[in-house]
Chains A and B, each alone.
Chain A
Amino acid sequence: MKKGLIIICTAAAVSFSSCKKDLLDTAPYGSLATESMWSSDNLTDLGVNGIYNALRLGIQNSGASGLEIYQYDRFGVTAQNRDAESMLQGTITPANGLFSNNWRNFYEGVIRANDAIANIPVKSPSAPAKKARLIAEAKFLRAYFYFRLNQVWKGVPVYLEPVKYDAFTKPRETEEAVWNVIVNDLTDCINEPNLPAKYAKGNSAYGRVTKGAAYALRGKAYMYMKKWAEAAADFAQVKTAGYSLFANYNTLFKEINEQCDEMIFSMQNTGIDGLGSTTQWYCGTRSSFGSCWNTYLVSPTVVDLFEKTDGSRFNWDDVIPGYSSMTPTARQVYFLRDNMTTAERTAAASRGADMSKYLLVGNEDRIKQAYQNRDPRLAACVITPYSTYNGVLGAGVSTVTSRFPYRTENSPTFDLRTDAQTFFYYLHRKFVYEGNTELLNRQYGPIDQPLIRYADVLLMWAEALNEQGDVAGAISKVNEVRARVGMPALQQTDNTKGTFVSGQTDMTERIRQERRVEFINEGINYFDELRWKTWKNTVFRAGNGTQQIWGQNTHVYTWPGDYIYTWPIPQAERERNPKLTQNEGWPQ
């Protein structure tokens, strides 16, 4: 009996122990083992989708990362950051996260593309035509990431094959060599018969790389290489591929038109957590749906660049005589609301407003004149003083007006409310959603982020023609863009008009001007100013800074030296790979 019990118990215990022989062989539940990758048609698709995902790197939902494409406008002419930027204060160093994060994110895209380009031919069982298309897409994306790298660093190490994580030890290539790598990849895409020229609106593949996109990006690369003829030829191919301007600039940036023929290549956004845009959150206001932050603002500089409807330059003194000779602080008076209380007037005076110019009635009407009869893109892109915006108050839709000083967003006043009510800034309207039905959550708006659109191509095309001396050809391209918003055509016949172009040099300036007002909040201007080497004179002109509407500085910009035209190799990376030489002039 006793022995029997022992045997039973022991047997029970032992059988517990041996019930699972593979106990120690565990595998992750939520990810795929490396050996399996690329081994099926589905996995081939997923691997390529993963490269596209790298376009989204840098998007952050807990505060603006400063890494999203539209956010670079803060360094340019067109926008400004509410908060101080070390880049603009001249104190940025190679240890700044801007450089390390971008470097890592762009190379991540390169690595994913390299993985696909190396493994699809040897591992994937997909149909040859499909494989060819996917490799072309991967090459386009690799070219795009190298483009972003070379645009700012001017020569980076080039890896075109998968490399073990600790073998990234190459030195930098020359800027020229990297452009050639980009052109080569894009040329492969263009030569790939299985890559379609364009996807129609609503096509389930919409958002993927097209031949049109490859031509556009290669053209843009040629612009950097100053190969003007090649650039112009590629831009012509974009037109041939079927891309064209969308008729209405005002609705171009709404979700319904995100797949119109103007959009050549866009980062895809959709209203799902983790897959949407953040422009609402960081460019909206407290009156916007979701109670947003006006982290990024429109600069007074670009507002002043919008021409009058007759094509002449805007001049403050035409609206308010003597305006430009006043101090910025004193000018504040012109932006004050009607019927200010005594206390409000006292406060304004103590802030430095020249209250002798204040009109208790008519102050608002006077300033509104400044924004009337201007290029329609101004109203489309900017919430100007005393203009309205369709926001949200509590549970309901509320049309609010941008006024200063702010009183209340409540009925019956309905002032537009910002983060910092004691400051009065120009606010973004482009990519800021209206009412409460256009998106679900401020963290994920559905509107695609255009990376290359046809207006960009047309204006680069104009630049390429102008650089070759074809001023007339350039004018015709610029005029297509102007015609779309109803701005009068540039011409070389009537020199009494503001639209008169005196020659090639003037045309260069006209094209730059057109690009500055066309692409607000699209992440184009900063890189343009770097490419044109105009940044120092435009953004860092004496006295510029983060400015309230009347030109008073919140943060002053300081030019530290020409070295900041090129980004520094991230300090951490130089410490890990001593072969990486630093760009000239950067302090440690």
Chain B
Amino acid sequence: MTVLFLLPLFLFAQTKTVTGTVKDENNKPVAGASVSIKNKNTGTVTDESGTFSINATAGDVLLISGINLETVELAVGEQSQLSITLKAKATELTDVVVVGYATQKKVNMTGSVSAVSPKQIENRPVTNISSSLAGLAPGVYVRQGSGKPGSDGASILIRGTGTLSSNSPLILVDGIISSMDAVNPLDVESISVLKDAASASIYGTLAANGVILITTKRGQKNKTTVTYNGIFSTTSPMNMPEFVNDYARHMRLINEGYTNVGQPRIFSDATINAWDSASKIPNQLNAIGVPNYIAYPNTNWADVLFNNRLLQTHNISVNGGSDKVNYLLSLGYLDNQGTIENTGTKRYQLRANLDAKINKFLTLGTQTFGSIQSFEMGNTESAFNFLRQTTPGLVPVWNGRYGFPHAPEESSTANNILGFLNNTAGDDVTTRFNTTLYATIQIMKGLTFESRFNYTLSQNESNSHTNAPPSERWNFATNEQKAFLPNLANLSTSYGFSKTTQRTIDNVIRYTTSFGRDHDLGVLVGYNELYSNSYNFGASKQGLIDYDITVFGAALTPTSTTGSESDYAIRSTFGRVNYAYKGRYLVEGNLRYDGVSRFSPATRWGLFPSVSAGWRISEEAFMQRTRDWLSNLKLRASWGRLGNNASGNYDWQATYASRLYSFNNAQASGLAVGSYANPDLQWETTTNMNLGLEGSFLRSHLFFEFDLYRRITDGILTTTPIPLTAGIASAPVVNAAQVTNQGMELLVGYRGKAGKFSYSVSGNISYNTNEVTNYKGKLVEGYVTDPLGNKVYQTNLGAVSTGDVNRILEGHKINEYYLYKTYKGSGTYFNTDGTVNINGGPKDGMIRTADDIAWATAMLAAGYKLRPANAVRNNAIWYGDLIYADLNGDGDYGNSFDRYFTNTSSLPKFVWGLVTDLSWKEFDLSMIWAGAFGHQYYWNADGYNNSFVTNGNAFSTLFANDHYYYDPANPTAANTNITATYPRLKAADPQNRAVASDFWLYNAAWMKLKNLQLGYTLPTKWASKALLQKARVYFTGENLLMISKFPGLDAEIGAGLGYPTMKQYAVGANLTF
């Protein structure tokens, strides 16, 4: 019908034949592109050479579109010969990924590279890039080890641990080795993670642990935008340690710990009762008018220490340019107060990226950025140590005065943590400056030469001195000052300065060409050198003239001066060739030749090749039929060698180090061998194999990527133990070990759209294991007959292995746990003949009942040993103590031959992430989850989970609520608990806490909701009224949820206690003018 109706119009207008050629961005003809006339039912497709011919009328609009290409609308005018270039549609088939010294289309890559979209780290209240990467890329394990402002950068492992030396990946920012966290997250344009040898070997010896490439934004032509991004966030600790803060209960627990081992109790009933009764009437005033809640404190130190605070960031960037000059200028400000008093940081960041096209063939430019960051001086290391070295029995601060323990029996060394946090004053400022100047010369079509020079400076200046007021501490109950201002003569002030500079030169020639119809060739040759130097000095003086006058000129006695310097250089040439046939068969080769100052002239040069190939199966003719549902399928494989030079800067040279002495009270210099040399020291080599399959289906709605890999690292740079008889000089670094690391990675995603609702979800999971495949030989253990004819058990453990609780041994994981085994008895006790059953006794290794005690006594009587205490009595092995298995069957239960390898380590076998993005009309919602599992932590910490008791130390509720108690003299005592998890409380504990047993081994699996974000973009008509191009407001939360069975503070941080990561709720605005 329509056709008939339109026909007269068509006839009426002047019709002509329009012909044209459709090409893609690479100037290649696009076959099969559809050409139609808008609102008319007329159309055609292009032929093999991209040409078409269609009848149209002036005023018609042509719609030209191709698979995975953006649609172009073009009005038909006077001309009848058209030339049309179609841009690639932004799909994964056309995604361009930054790789070493170049960019590549993702579909054409033959290596294993993960790209992280900057969108996933933008608009988050994170303070650095590294910690925001968790969960975003397969094979990348991001672990934030501390939440301390300014030290909260995450450690990143790419494909697990493959060596005993450094496992840190190489970080390049705009091609220059740099700290990831020096970069403002909002300046990031792209992040690529190079994982296999094919993609990383262009960086040779720097790349054995993978490479992370970050590029920053550049100015956009003919478009000026001003963007403001601001976030206000509340911060609170992700998790807090919990302690007994009822002081009366605390005192009873202390007494329990001492009386359990037959020592006199510490706290008298009078003191305990005083607290008990005072806590019932907290507001009553004592004799001198102090309320009970102050006079009889029950302080919750975790509450005092951790507070909700504010974090804010403000960023402004200006982006614009002309045909000649493009620029990006950005300014950033961060104020993170942390969750603990006096530990905050402030940072100012600035960036100027400039590109100037001088003429047709020459472009000059710079990427320059800098930052100034200051840190507050609170000593959090002490604070965390002191968190367990204090008690609820002192007031943190009252009326501006710091508290001191109130109970007469309390240890006077129970710490006022708040006082410690605030007793250091001074400055700590880090300044960074980083500038790259570059020139690109277009020598001829396809041939460019680029030269870059970079200078990086990082320096730290610090001054530290005592902030005197917190030294004064009071017993508020008696209004008595108990600790005093220190003697001025005893106070000191110190200054420190450190500076690291790095110079880099890069010269690269690139050539790309196509010949014939089916051949694409790229060649790259480059030269690189780097020199880095660090030095520092520090000094301190003692004796001030006043508490606030702390400059050296006003201090009296110099007490120490230190200083050191070191340097490091590397020089390399490298090259790459890649070739594609019909865009279907892809091969690439890389070669790098590196020399480094860390090895002797004879061994410092190394050659690191890689080859890789890809086969785009989906492009084959026989796959024609699958094109409607299979958009891409590629198989790729790579092999290559990488290096690692992670030894000390001068390890190959033996040196004498300063060893001072004094004669007649005058300092005298001395020298002694400081380190043994190994002139044969050379590169550690990683041979890397990777097999990958990637594809996308259903018009790219569903996509996946799967990688299998194996890394064999040989000649690992490590120090193996030398005999104690060789003294204290550092053992030489040697090329000693081999580690095999293997695993697989899977990324699966789906994205789609239904009306105004669009969604995407992608998940990744990686599996990785490592094994030390060669070290110092096999472990040989067993009985031998000594010269005296005695059968003795012998082991060469010390000769073939290093470490203690975490050991390195051939055939085992890196740092596998090596522990005593908690005894598991049969639950019966005596044999029918009345002899003791040597496999009997307590089922879970803890002596719990009178039968268990009788069994242990009988065992000792029969000549068996129960180490280490080896006696049954209240200060040795008693009700509520652990005993250990006799693994070598020598009748000595728990001697040093009874440790075993657990086949677990603290490194997770599985790491995963899940990212979802939803949007509906103006609303958007996104979520990032990250997690790890398949690992364990050995955690045996005083005050937190072992049952060791010292007066003046705290009790975590973990074991305070769940420890064994039984007194045979008073079996019905109220606190009796014979089914508890943790051993009895002990003021001296060689039996439980002092033994590195698997009792202290915990499952460390964790998952976290890393980020949740809900945004609303103002409709353009409203935004434009406020002169805004775009305005988005959002609520976001960071670290909102943690799911883990690990009872410690935070399984992500690790077994120990550290500054907790922050849980954040934030509001932000993103305004573009």
Contact = CB atoms under 8 A, between A and B. Distances in A.
B871 A558 contact: yes
A394 B662 contact: no
Given A34-B654, A440-B559, A552-B264, A9 B724 contact: no
Interface stretch (A107-115, A314-322, A380-388, A515-523): A107-115
A491 interface: no
A289 B486 CA distance: 10
Nearest to B734: A166
Contacts of B646: none
Contact of A422 (B266, B665, B797): B266
B726 A107 contact: yes
Interface stretch (A205-213, A475-483, A506-514): A205-213
Interface stretch (B154-162, B694-702, B891-899): B891-899
Interface string A528-541: 00000000000000
A436 B490 contact: yes
Interface in A124-172: 157, 159, 165-166, 168
Interface string A564-576: 0000001111111
Nearest to B871: A558
A30 B564 contact: yes
Contact of A111 (B408, B449, B673): B673
Interface stretch (B341-349, B459-467, B477-485, B1029-1037): B477-485
B488 A207 contact: no
Contact of B725 (A107, A202, A552): A107
Contacts of A26: 567-569, 597, 649-650
Interface stretch (B49-57, B165-173, B409-417, B917-925): B409-417
A118 interface: no
A503 interface: no
B725 A157 contact: yes
Contacts of A64: none
Interface string B769-799: 0000000000000000011000001111111
Contacts of B93: none
B663 A441 contact: no
A453 interface: no
B543 to A, nearest CB: 8
Contact of A47 (B361, B453, B667, B671): B671
B529 A395 contact: no
A53 B657 contact: no
Given A17-B507, A26-B568, A52 B670 contact: yes
Given A103-B724, A394-B487, A588-B895, A46 B670 contact: yes
B743 interface: no
Contact of A575 (B441, B787, B798): B798
A326 interface: no
A91 B731 contact: no
B758 to A, nearest CB: 48
Contact of A286 (B270, B412, B485, B505): B412
A408 B662 contact: no
A582 to B, nearest CB: 8
B412 A29 contact: no
Contact of B656 (A31, A204, A347, A441): A31
A205 B664 CA distance: 6
A357 interface: no
Interface in A540-579: 552, 554-556, 558, 570-578
Given A17-B529, A157-B725, A206 B664 contact: yes
A570 B796 CA distance: 13
Nearest to A409: B482
Interface residues of A, number: 122
Contact of B559 (A5, A30, A441): A441
Interface stretch (A227-235, A271-279, A369-377): A271-279
Contacts of A577: 723, 725
A275 B559 CA distance: 11
Contact of A587 (B507, B892, B951): B892
Interface string B461-501: 00000000000000000001111111111100000000000
A24 interface: yes
Interface string A10-50: 10111011001001111111111110010000010011111
Contact of A25 (B566, B597, B658): B597
Contact of A165 (B262, B595, B663, B676): B676
A395 B865 contact: no
Given A32-B656, A395-B487, A573 B731 contact: no
Most chain A CB inside 10 Å of its own CB: which residue of B604, B649, B661, B672: B661
Contacts of B865: 587
Nearest to B786: A581
Given A24-B596, A165-B731, A6 B892 contact: no
A108 B728 contact: yes
B723 A168 contact: yes
Interface in B646-702: 649-650, 653-674, 676-677
Interface stretch (A181-189, A300-308, A413-421): A413-421
B527 interface: yes
B721 A350 contact: no
A27 B725 CA distance: 28
A446 B665 contact: yes
A492 interface: no
B380 interface: no
Contacts of A574: 798
A414 B654 CA distance: 56
A10 B650 contact: no
Contacts of B663: 204-208, 268
B546 interface: no
A573 B798 contact: yes
A9 B451 contact: yes
B557 interface: yes
A270 interface: yes
A162 to B, nearest CB: 9
Contact of A34 (B441, B569, B656, B670): B656
A405 B653 contact: no
Contacts of A34: 653-656, 673, 677
Contact of B799 (A33, A50, A86, A576): A576
Contacts of B294: none
A312 interface: no
A283 interface: no
Contacts of B672: 47, 50-51, 53-54, 108, 112, 115
B796 A270 contact: no
B175 to A, nearest CB: 15
A179 to B, nearest CB: 19
A150 B566 CA distance: 41
B408 A405 contact: yes
A10 B449 contact: yes
B270 A420 contact: no
B439 to A, nearest CB: 6
Contacts of B895: 93, 587-588
A44 to B, nearest CB: 10
Contacts of A571: 798, 896
Contacts of A112: 672-673, 727
Interface string B690-723: 0000000000000000000000000000000111
Name the 4 nearest CB pairs between A and B, nearest first.
A394-B484, A575-B798, A49-B670, A108-B727
Interface of B: 262-266, 268-271, 361-362, 408-409, 411-413, 439, 441, 443, 449, 451, 453, 480-490, 505, 507, 527, 529, 531, 535, 542, 557, 559-560, 564-571, 595-597, 601, 604, 649-650, 653-674, 676-677, 721-729, 731-732, 786-787, 793-799, 865, 867-871, 875, 892, 895-897, 951, 988, 990
Given A32-B671, A93-B896, A588-B895, 20 more contacts: A6-B443, A23-B569, A32-B655, A32-B657, A34-B655, A86-B868, A89-B990, A112-B673, A165-B676, A166-B722, A166-B726, A168-B726, A205-B664, A268-B661, A347-B271, A421-B409, A571-B798, A573-B798, A576-B798, A588-B793
8 contacts: A9-B362, A13-B439, A86-B868, A86-B990, A205-B663, A270-B667, A555-B263, A578-B796
